[in-house]
A and B are shown apart, each in its own frame.
Chain A
């Protein structure tokens, strides 16, 4: 088990606050998704960028040491000021830059539960994370219980809460006119997601539910920005849904038979996916998070 945790720790780089990883070598890649919409890839969650006459809106902000590089990448796109920031959820690889942006006067907005978790200590064994409360400048100044809509840059951007899935405060952001959606970490394209199952948080059945609610809102032309992975399409979301459904069904059955975590992992419930999907996140750690969607988590 210790070994598993070490592996998880390595894979979810950046969660271990003590030894902060070095971001010097990280390069920010800017990808145009639609007129006025870009994705910034670097390290951590994909950043959505809306640019236009009303200024810049960011969706997520990766890690604090990367903010300066993000600013550079944004300047290469537009000279308008960054005014708004939406957090899709509370994880450090999505809110790490908040304090920098908050101090720069950017209005940070998120779901109510993001604020709750960012203002209290979060101990997440499965993610090897012990996150103290964030400083005030990093916190969302406005939070919503359901949804908010930004009327900017010629579009309507709706940030809306989805079922408890990756965490208990996940939102997706829909660009109505551009036909683009940022899914946060509820969707990881072509790879196993993290499911933050401790502390009454996410669950695999919630991921399935959230994805089942997402799919009918997509058409063949929708650009889907995942929390992690390349910009995707409806087809990719459907393939992901199939993987989630497969693993949930198999693990639920084994868990209900009273199998232990070790037995469930040994049964290889993701056997046909591992070669492709296991490149980015080790199967065993993912199966563990799925397992604790059916069995109450107990810290070891």
Chain B
């Protein structure tokens, strides 16, 4: 178990962020449309909308990266920074909030993002408490279900999804730009993390992705929380994989199988080659996390 945690710690890069060195990190900018961009650095993928109304940013990686991220944004536009959306509560997506607030952005997220940021959280990957965030980094406006921005000539819908990665996940859809930012409900090359401690749920991924699929078409550019730019076809495949492995694991769990028995049953076997890339986490470790999730939800 200790070894597992060490691996997970390294793999998920949770915790000890402050001490981490980001000197070597380079922010890569990808132009998606005339007004929409994706920034990659370290942590969750960032979405950027620029135009006559100003700049909207989706997620902000880690605090030490803010200057580099701002430099990348300024290379695109000199308009004022207006809005920052947080897709969920994790530090690799909201780490720069406090810095961005100083730039004058209004931070917006789902109710549960603020709720979790405001309280002491237990992080199950590192088995350690995470202190409440300072007030200046908290979302100022929170929503229960859906908000729509009428911004830079687009209708930008931010919608809450069923609990999956966490219980405060949102996706962001640019209707005219035909771009969707998925947050960490979707990692385009690997199984997504299930943060059960933050209210996530294995069974929620397929229903959450279904909400996204309803909105997009074959030409939609899909920004995953982690991993390369994706599309509807790949997302549909991801949805079916998550649906299949969740149902298999649920069936094993309901049949009374132990964690070890579930791992040995290899419910992810036919998907591992494709969907366990770019992570030191082994498929068996992922099945263990699925088991923990099911066990916790049974306790509730």
Contact = CB atoms under 8 A, between A and B. Distances in A.
Interface stretch (B35-43, B144-152, B282-290): B144-152
Tell me if A's interface is mostly helix, strand, loop or mixed. Answer: strand
A140 to B, nearest CB: 7
Interface string A119-131: 0000000000000
Given A145-B145, A151-B114, A140 B139 contact: no
A141 B146 contact: no
Nearest to A150: B141
Given A107-B106, A112-B148, A142-B148, A151 B142 contact: yes
B150 A141 contact: yes
Contact of B140 (A112, A139, A151): A151
B111 interface: yes
Interface of B: 53, 106, 108, 111, 114, 138-151
A139 B53 CA distance: 12
A149 interface: yes
A33 interface: no
Given A141-B150, A141-B151, A143-B150, A152 B145 contact: no
Interface in A87-125: 107, 109, 112, 115
B142 A140 contact: no
Interface residues of A, number: 19
Contacts of B139: 151
- The B interface, classified by DSSP as helix, strand, loop or mixed, is strand
Nearest first, the 4 A-B pairs at minimum CB distance are A145-B146, A146-B145, A144-B147, A148-B143
A142 B147 CA distance: 7
A141 B53 contact: yes
Contacts of A142: 108, 141, 147-150
Given A107-B106, A141-B53, A147 B150 contact: no
B45 to A, nearest CB: 23
A107 B141 CA distance: 11
A79 interface: no
A146 B146 contact: yes
B143 A147 contact: yes
**Which of B53, B106, B150 is packed against the most chain A CB atoms within 10 Å?**
B150
Contact of B150 (A54, A139, A151): A139
B50 to A, nearest CB: 15
A148 B108 CA distance: 10
A150 B147 CA distance: 13
A142 B143 CA distance: 11
Contact of A152 (B53, B111, B114, B140): B140
Contacts of A139: 150
Nearest to A145: B146
A151 B138 contact: yes
Given A142-B149, A144-B148, A148-B143, 13 more contacts: A54-B140, A109-B141, A142-B148, A142-B150, A143-B148, A144-B143, A144-B145, A145-B146, A146-B145, A146-B146, A147-B145, A149-B143, A149-B144
Interface in A131-167: 139-152
Contact of A149 (B106, B142, B150): B142
B151 to A, nearest CB: 6
Most chain A CB atoms below 10 A, which of B141, B147, B149: B141
A155 B138 CA distance: 14
A109 B158 CA distance: 14
A148 B150 contact: no
Contact of A143 (B53, B138, B144, B147): B147
Contacts of B106: 107
A148 B141 contact: yes
B174 to A, nearest CB: 14
Nearest to B111: A149
B150 to A, nearest CB: 6
A216 B114 CA distance: 27
A146 B144 contact: yes
Contacts of B138: 151
B141 A149 contact: yes
A267 B142 CA distance: 49
Interface in A141-197: 141-152
B150 A140 contact: yes
A54 B114 CA distance: 17
A151 B146 CA distance: 18
